[in-house]
Amino acid sequence: MNTKDLKVLISEEEIQAKIGELAAKLNEIYKDEEVYAICVLKGAVMFAVDLVKKLNMPVKMEFIRLSSYGSATTTSGKVNAVDIALPDLNGKNVMIIEDIVDTGLTAKFLIDFINLNFHTKSTVFCSLLDKKMTRKTDVSPDYYCFDIDDKFVVGYGLDYDGHYRNLPYIAYADHII
Ligand code: IMP
């Protein structure tokens, strides 16, 4: 895939505007309560950074690394916890920040992991993108910014074989869909 073959699906301006709307909603919900924002690396890095900058409550950021894709454009079906070290989240407000919910296997793995290991005060799942058509589990993000069709997308943290994470917008290429 070549950068010149990419078509913009969601512009930088649209992304930033939606993140602003989501942050306003979350600021209203949590008011001054502390939140543990858990960024799921690597894909959610851009979204998490831009979102937390717009949050007004006390925030502690944590980073975990899960993988399921390898270098292909379809999920392996197996979630690999590369690094899931977390502090004690008992009694805490937990905000999971993910790039995309596709099959939902990663989201389910993570929610089950949190529920099994901690009694949180609250847990919400925020995803930049929601690809509902390809869902294979019964999980859905509590909050998401954009609903997308069954397209393999890149940019703004999302990659194809490690490439394109640095694009400030979300894009797709016809021939790998
Ligand atoms: P799920 O477990 O199938 O929901 O997929 C979750 C992970 O797969 C995401 O966190 C992404 O890293 C990756 N993924 C799913 N769809 C795409 C895509 O369209 N582009 C890039 N990565 C994707």
Q: What is the pLDDT of residues 112-121, one digit of tens each?
A: 999 999 999 9
161 is catalytic: no
User: What pLDDT, on a 0 to 100 scale, did the predictor assign at position 1?
Assistant: 61
pLDDT in tens, 43-95: 999 999 999 999 999 999 999 999 886 556 777 778 888 889 999 999 999 99
Q: Is the CB of 156 under 6 A from ligand 1?
A: no
Q: Find the 141 Cα to ligand 1 centroid distance in Å.
A: 13
Question: What own/partner pairs with CB < 8 Å and gap ≥ 24 does 160-164 have?
Answer: 160/1, 160/73, 161/71, 162/71, 163/1, 164/1, 164/3, 164/6
- Reply yes or no on whether the pLDDT at 109 is more than 80: yes
Q: Which CATH number fits domain 3-68+78-169: 3.40.47.10, 3.50.50.60, 3.30.479.30, 3.40.50.2020?
A: 3.40.50.2020
Does the pLDDT of residue 174 top 80, yes or no? no
Residue 5, pLDDT score: 83
pLDDT of residue 71: 57
Return d(Cα 24, Cα 21) in angstroms, integer. Answer: 5
Atom of ligand 1 nearest to the CA of 160: 21
pLDDT of amino acid 40: 97
pLDDT tens profile 20-30:
999 999 999 99
Average pLDDT, the chain: 93
Asked if residues 50 and 37 have their Cβ atoms less than 8 Å apart, the reply is no
Residue of 155, 177, 164 whose CA lies nearest to 47: 155
The continuous run of DSSP H or E covering 134 comes out as none
Ligand 1 contact, 93 CB (< 6 A) = no
pLDDT of residue 167 exceeding 50, the answer is: yes
From the CA of 42, give the closest atom in ligand 1. Answer: 12
Cβ of 43 below 6 Å from ligand 1: yes
pLDDT above 90 (res 155):
yes
pTM (whole model) above 0.85: yes
